[in-house]
Amino acid sequence: MSVVPIKKQIGREKGCASFGQSGKRLNTSAQVTFKRNLYYLPGGIELGLEGVTIHRDEIFELACVGIQWEQIENLYQVSQDNIKQHYSSIYNKGKATFEIAILKQMNEKALGGDTSMAVFMSKNRLRMAEKIEQVNSDAIPKPEEVRSKLDALLNKHLNKIKKDKGETE
């Protein structure tokens, strides 16, 4: 990362402008100089540098190792929105490269005999799932119904016992 003072307006370098989907003028050059977030200490002391230059290759390399936008913002002390405006396409390419590398490693493990990785890959990448049977909640009797049926059976059985005892005495 090289630090340089801002000397020209962003996106005004000769032959580097194009228009994005939003109709805004975008910078497609290899580097852009951003105004940094400045912090002021009590007494008017300014903390921070005047500007920072970010190269496309740096954003690509960071995305290739899985760095998120928020981490890039913290690294350069430049807002995500400003960085995204200029580098979203190269970031997305780096992120895709990272994801492909991870998937290759996962596939190699799964095909190499790692059963847990094979199950993980089949569930997540192939959208396979274990079948879970749905139980109809109406088919399950409610506790009150079970209790009343048991009471009825118990009373029937007790009455039969009383009747049998009454006949034998």
Report the 10 Å Cβ neighbour count for 116: 9
The helix (run of H) or strand (run of E) holding residue 72 is: helix 69-76
DSSP string, 3-24: -----S-TT-STT-EEE-TTS-
* pTM (two decimals): 0.52
Question: Quick check: 121 and 111 in contact, CB under 8 A?
Answer: no
Domain map of the chain by residue range? 17-102, 142-169
Report the 10 Å Cβ neighbour count for 20: 13
The per-residue pLDDT for range 12-51, each reduced to its tens digit, is 333 333 334 444 544 556 777 766 555 555 655 555 555 7
Instruction: Determine the pLDDT at residue 62.
Output: 95
CA dist 149 and 155 (Å) reads: 10
The per-residue pLDDT for range 52-82, each reduced to its tens digit, is 788 899 999 999 999 999 999 888 888 888 8
